[in-house]
Structure 1
Amino acid sequence: MTVNLSAFFYLGGAMALIGSSVCFGKAVTDSMPLSLASAIRYAISLLCLLPLFWRERRDLPTLRKKDWLILILQGLTGQFLFSLFLLYGLRHLSASESGILTSTMPAVIAVLSFLFLKENISRQKATAIASVVAGIVLMNYFGAAQLDQRGANPLLGSILVFGAVIGESLFTIFSKVLTARLRPITIATVVTFFGFLPFLPFAAYEALTFDFTALSWKVWVALFLYGSLITVAPFYLYCRGLALASAGTAAVFTGVMPVSSVICAYLFLGEPFLWFHLLGMGGVLLGIACIAGESPSVDASEAASSQGMKSPLPLANENRSETSS
Structure 2
Amino acid sequence: MDTAISHPLSKNQVTLVGFTFALLAAIGFSAKAIFVKLAYVYPVDAVTLLALRMAFSAPVFLGLALWFGLNKMSPRLTRNDWFAVVGLGLLGYYLSSLLDFLGLQYISAGLERLILFLYPTIVIILSALYFSHKIDKKTIIAILLSYAGIALVFLQNITLTQTGIVLGSLLVFASTISYAIYLIGAGQSIARIGGMRFMAYAMSVASIATLIQFAAIHPLSKLQLPLQVYELGMAMAVFSTILPAFFLAASIRKMGSGRTSMIGSIGPVTTIYMAHLFLGESITALQIAGSGLVLIGVLSISRH
Q: TM-score, length-normalised on structure 1?
A: 0.70
Q: Which residue of 2 aligns with 1:175?
A: 186
- Return the match for 2:172 from 143, 156, 161: 161
Aligned residue type for 1:150: T
Distance 2:189 2:144 in 1: 27
Distance 2:120 2:61 in 1: 28
3-state SS of paired residue (1:58): coil
1:37: how far off? 2.2
Tell me, yes or no, if the aligned pair for 1:4 and 1:245 is still in contact at 8 Å: no
Q: Are the structure 2 counterparts of residues 120 and 47 from structure 1 closer, same or farther at C-alpha, using a change threshold of 3 Å?
A: farther
Distance 2:133 2:188 in 1: 12
1:275: how far off? 1.6
3-state SS of paired residue (2:292): helix
- Return the match for 2:55 from 18, 30, 43: 43
Tell me, yes or no, if the aligned pair for 2:89 and 2:206 is still in contact at 8 Å: yes
Distance 1:163 1:141 in 2: 16
- Return the match for 1:81 from 63, 79, 95: 95
Distance 1:237 1:6 in 2: 10
1:266: how far off? 0.8
Distance 2:301 2:119 in 1: 17
Tell me, yes or no, if the aligned pair for 1:45 and 1:232 is still in contact at 8 Å: yes
Q: Are the structure 2 counterparts of residues 170 and 194 from structure 1 closer, same or farther at C-alpha, using a change threshold of 3 Å?
A: same
Q: Which runs of 5+ in 2 are unaligned?
A: 1-10
Q: Are the structure 2 counterparts of residues 245 and 110 from structure 1 closer, same or farther at C-alpha, using a change threshold of 3 Å?
A: farther
Tell me, yes or no, if the aligned pair for 2:109 and 2:272 is still in contact at 8 Å: no
3-state SS of paired residue (1:210): helix
Aligned residue type for 2:210: F
Distance 2:212 2:92 in 1: 19
Q: How do 1:216-231 residues align onto structure 2 when only pairs under 5 Å count?
A: 216=227, 218-231=228-241
Identity %: 25
Q: Are the structure 2 counterparts of residues 254 and 283 from structure 1 closer, same or farther at C-alpha, using a change threshold of 3 Å?
A: farther
Q: Which residue of 1 aligns with 2:161?
A: 148
CA deviations 1:60-102 (Å, max 9, x no partner) are 2111111112211222112211122222234355667656754
Aligned residue type for 2:234: F
- Return the match for 2:222 from 210, 214, 225: 210
Aligned residue type for 1:39: A
1:160: how far off? 2.7
RMSD of aligned residue pairs (Cα, Å)? 3.9
Aligned residue type for 2:162: Q
1:280: how far off? 3.2
Aligned residue type for 1:280: G
Tell me, yes or no, if the aligned pair for 1:103 and 1:133 is still in contact at 8 Å: no
Distance 1:269 1:94 in 2: 9
- Larger mean CA deviation between 163-172 and 277-286 belongs to 277-286
1:45: how far off? 1.5
Tell me, yes or no, if the aligned pair for 1:20 and 1:261 is still in contact at 8 Å: yes
Q: Are the structure 2 counterparts of residues 234 and 82 from structure 1 closer, same or farther at C-alpha, using a change threshold of 3 Å?
A: same
Question: What is the aligned residue count?
Answer: 286
Distance 1:240 1:116 in 2: 32
Q: Which runs of 5+ in 1 are unaligned?
A: 300-325
Distance 1:119 1:260 in 2: 33
CA deviations 1:256-281 (Å, max 9, x no partner) are 44433322211111111112232234
Q: Which residue of 1 aligns with 2:124?
A: 110
- Return the match for 1:282 from 292, 295, 298: 292
1:239: how far off? 5.8
- Return the match for 2:274 from 254, 264, 271: 264
- Return the match for 1:58 from 47, 69, 72: 72
Distance 1:116 1:232 in 2: 33
